[in-house]
Amino acid sequence: MSAESGLANASKENSLPNRSLRPGFPSGFLWGTATSAYQIEGAVNEDERGPSIWDRHAHKIGNILNNGNADVANDHFHLYKDDVQLMKALGAKAYRFSIAWPRVFPAGAGAPNPKGLDFYDRLLDELLASGIEPFATLYHWDLPLALQDRHGGWLSRETSEAFAHYAGHVAKRLSDRVKHFFTINECSRFVNLGHGHGSDAPGLKLSRAELNQVRHNVALGHGLAVRSIRTQGRAGTRVGPAENIVTCVPAIETPANIRAAEIATRELNAGYLTVMLEGKYTDAFLADAGKDAPQFTAEDLDIISSPIDFVGLNVYMPEHYVVAADNAQGFAPLPFPDSFPHMDSAWLKIGPEAMYWGPRHVAKLWDVKSIYITENGTSAADQPDTAGNVYDVDRIMYLRNYLTQLQRATSEGVPVLGYFLWSLMDNFEWTDGFEKRFGLYRVDFNTQRRTPKLSASFYREIIAQNAVV
Ligand code: BGC
């Protein structure tokens, strides 16, 4: 055989896969985008909305980068029709948004504001007219300020009860159009950053015992809300949490390390997902808390573990890479080297495997049959060119890698039913103000102009193909 004919044969046999071999998602996979009320709505004084802990926190000089606040933010309260068109242009089939508790109960409890749900009525009608299915989060951190000032917010179980009352009211009013409710967004983050570290609202630095009590009351609020949604929502209303779990990735995928990563994921989420799904605090959690363990009753644990219909997971990065270890816990988290890569937000480590292992651990550990990825996305230092185009190839790189791992999970049968990209558009990024951009659409906060970035085209293609592109 001549060298030439050899080459010809090789190119025939090794011809590259064509487009039809792209890694696809299950048919009917639900593609959406996500936002939250305080980050986009603005209109903080309209329709008798009450103040939230974030209003006060953001207005305190020094709390937010460049002293931003979300009084106007994306002015979504007025521009929601245009924003629904942005979703439609992506071909998105679902939208995860949050309802502002202080709009509905301006003082947190007591009588509902008669105008409190009007905005959401309008938004829901607009979404449904555009063929977009609404998924509503009930708490994305904007606690009515009155509850904080009256009895210490989540430090008191009166807040857990007020939350359930509000959740039931919303379910009663909106479950004709909203079929899926998320109770609380990321318990872990607002408990730690708002009540331990003090950087987020309400800006507290509580003792370990108080922090554990807050954590317990938040989990209790979740369970009470599940129950009141069941009693007040229409038959068939589905409910679950949206948690940013501590995801542990096996450093090397051996059976022993995989088992260690599962054990670590169960233990390190003991205060949230584990207690919600098992109805008990793990022995290690209680031993570690010692005298600082939360006060709770057996009935509390029953409430917290009220049956849910799905688990929502916000996936940004692995919390730990772990290996099996011959110690009491059976695992060892490895330190992150200084050179570990991150995105524009320094905390946002690039670890796409979290998108495989997070849902897989949840399905395996607790036999969860329905999972939604309720958030995934990244900040990027988007720079418009002279024509105003944003070529955010770094965001595309991040998303493609995470979605490849998600596809790996669904192709192995991990029951992920949908994915909500964070975020539809740039918005108020909490203590980072408007300085970190997570959107598929760029927002000019002076003019409120929205412009699609290259990642919007990328996501539109993903949705159209139902595959990683
Ligand atoms: C939160 C979002 C936030 C995003 C990026 C998530 O933890 O739910 O509100 O904007 O992360 O920081």
Convert the pLDDT of each residue in 396-405 to its tens digit: 999 999 999 9
Nearest-atom number in ligand 1 for the CA of 348 is: 12
Check if the beta carbon of residue 363 is closer than 8 Å to that of residue 371: yes
319 lines ligand 1 (CB under 6 A): no
Residue 362 CA to residue 245 CA, distance in Å, equals 10
Q: How far is the CA of 50 from the centre of ligand 1 (A)?
A: 23
Asked whether the bond before 423 is cis by omega within 30 degrees of 0, the reply is yes
Q: Which CATH number fits domain 25-465: 3.60.40.10, 3.40.50.10540, 3.20.20.80, 3.40.630.30?
A: 3.20.20.80
Dihedral (Cα; 104, 106, 108, 110), 10-degree rounding: -90
* Ligand 1 touching residue 150 (CB < 6 A): no
**Ligand 1 lined by 426 (C-beta under 6 Å):** no
pTM: 0.96
pLDDT (0 to 100) of residue 12? 55
Kindly give the residue spans of alpha helices, DSSP state H, lying in 204-282.
208-232, 255-268, 275-278
What token pair was written down for 375?
A: 């958030």
Look at residues 125, 82, 73, 126 and name the one whose alpha carbon lies nearest to residue 100: 73
Helix extents (H) in 309-465 = 354-366, 393-411, 454-465
Question: 243 in ligand 1 pocket by Cβ < 6 Å?
Answer: no
From atom 10 of ligand 1, which residue's Cα is the shortest distance away? Answer: 429
What separation in Å is there between the alpha carbon of 215 and the centre of ligand 1? 19
202-242 tens-digit pLDDT? 999 999 999 999 999 999 999 999 999 999 999 999 999 99
What ligand 1 atom has the least distance to the C-alpha of 423?
10
The letter for the amino acid at 407 is Q
Mutate to test the pocket of ligand 1, among 244, 245, 374, 430 (most ligand atoms within 8 A of CB): 430
Between the CA of 182 and the centroid of ligand 1 the distance, in Å, is 15
Residue 55 confidence (pLDDT): 98
For residue 71, the model assigns a pLDDT of 98
**How many angstroms separate the alpha carbon of residue 9 from the centre of ligand 1?**
52
Q: List the residue whose alpha carbon is closest to atom 9 of ligand 1.
A: 36
| Nearest CA, atom 5, ligand 1 | 429
Any ligand 1 atom below 6 A from CB of 375: yes
pLDDT of res. 23 = 84
Relative to the CA of 345, which ligand 1 atom is closest? 12
Q: Does residue 38 have its Cβ closer than 6 Å to ligand 1?
A: no
- Which residues are annotated as catalytic? 186, 375
Distance (Å) from CA 430 to ligand 1 centroid: 8
Rounded to 5°, the CA angle 263-421-414 comes to 40
According to the model, what pLDDT value does residue 209 have? 98
| 429 Cβ below 6 A of ligand 1 | yes
Asked if residue 357 lies in contact with residue 261, where contact means CB atoms within 8 angstroms, the answer is yes
Q: In this predicted structure, what is the pLDDT of residue 22?
A: 73
Closest-lying ligand 1 atom to the alpha carbon of residue 242: 8
CA distance 112 to 361: 40
Nearest to 54 by CA among 183, 165, 185, 158: 185
Low-confidence spans in the chain with pLDDT less than 50? 1-10
Q: Is the CB of 36 under 6 A from ligand 1?
A: yes
What is the whole-number distance in angstroms between the Cα of residue 122 and the centre of ligand 1? 25
Measured CA distances, 199 to 60, 202, 263, 430 (Å):
12, 8, 30, 10
**Could you give the CA distance from residue 323 to residue 356 in angstroms, rounded to a whole number?**
17
**Which residue lies with its CA nearest to atom 12 of ligand 1?**
429
Q: How remote is the CA of residue 57 from the centroid of ligand 1, in Å?
A: 17
Cβ–ligand 1 contact at 185 (below 6 Å): yes
